Amino acid sequence: MTTWYTKEHEWISVDGNVGTVGITAYAAEKLGDVVFVDLPPIGKSVTKDGDMAVVESVKAASDVYAPASGDVDAVNKALETAPDTVNQDPEGEGWFVRLKLRNPGELSALMDKAAYDKFCESL
């Protein structure tokens, strides 16, 4: 499984043609306490860099963008009753959606962990 990162602080962990998507620990820390997550319906078609979900914290509401184009195959229903999971484990149990990827080649434009860490240091 390979994990890629965006400059908007989303991650996608890819296994075959399915990508699990969430926000990074950096994003979760900047947002503060997450109080609500608005997930897309299963079957929704999303486009790379398009709106996919919304995460609301005590500080702000932020759009979550799709790191790659695909169809929503699963959503993390646990976030409906425990949105704070995003703060506790943003790059694990706090995942948002699983996408069936339409164009895995889009992932080549994303950053690996080392590049993402370097990017965050520059912010």
Q: What is the pLDDT of residue 58?
A: 93
Read out DSSP for the chain? -EEEE-TTSEEEEEETTEEEEEE-HHHHHHH-SEEEEEPPPTT-EE-TTSEEEEEEESS-EEEEE-SS-EEEEEE-THHHH-TTHHHH-TTTTT--EEEEES-GGGGGGSB-HHHHHHHHHT-
Domain boundaries, the chain: 2-102
Phi, psi of 117 (to 5 degrees): -60, -40
Model pLDDT, residue 32: 95
* Spans of the chain, pLDDT less than 50: none
Domain spanning 2-102, CATH class = mainly beta
Q: Confirm whether pTM is higher than 0.85.
A: yes
pLDDT at 1: 87
* Amino acid of residue 5: Y
Residue 80 makes CB contacts below 8 A (sequence gap 6+) with: 37, 39
